[in-house]
Amino acid sequence: MIVSLLLVNKGQAQTLKSISILEKQNQGCLDKGEDMTGCAADFGNQMDSLLNLSYNNLRKTLSPAGKDSLKAEELCWIKKRDAAFKKNAKKENDDLGGGTMSIMATYQDNADFVKERAIVLIKRLNAVSK
């Protein structure tokens, strides 16, 4: 999984296809049934990196006012993310009774939340790049 992330980073090609590739690799890792918590954590890190790259590349295309607007939007999203992460941890702990599966499910839920934001930014970046 790390190799594909490096390829994504090297080319600065934040595309929806990149997300699809990383999702498939994550699912393949989870399907092995070994170190599923590690799989979910790695996927979360990949989504976070992709989000950061997309944010920074989108920011480069914006006017100063656009950059300020994007920053304010991102700060608002970060508050929502923090609240969602807390909610995810509580939900998975309640549903799964704690333990390794609960941690893995929380990591996966968190990664999916970040992925959705990355998709929003990638679409905006793609629209600007046309």
Tell how far CA 127 is from the center of its chain: 20
Give Cα separations from 19 to 47, 71, 100, 116, 120 (angstroms): 8, 23, 25, 10, 12
Q: pLDDT, tens digit, for every residue of 4-30?
A: 443 444 444 568 889 999 999 999 999
Sign of the Cα torsion 25, 36, 102, 89 reads negative
* Other Cβ atoms closer than 10 A to 6: 11
Q: pLDDT, tens digit, for every residue of 58-96?
A: 999 999 999 999 999 999 999 999 999 999 888 877 777
For residue 62, the SS3 value is coil
Please report the domains of the chain, with CATH numbers, ordered by start residue. Answer: 2-129 (1.20.1270)
Q: Which tokens is 39 given?
A: 């799989």
Instruction: Provide the pLDDT for residue 99.
Output: 79
Cα angle 51, 56, 58 (rounded to 5 degrees) comes to 95
**Could you tell me the pTM of the whole model?**
0.85
Instruction: Provide the pLDDT for residue 14.
Output: 60
Q: Which tokens is 60 given?
A: 């480069």
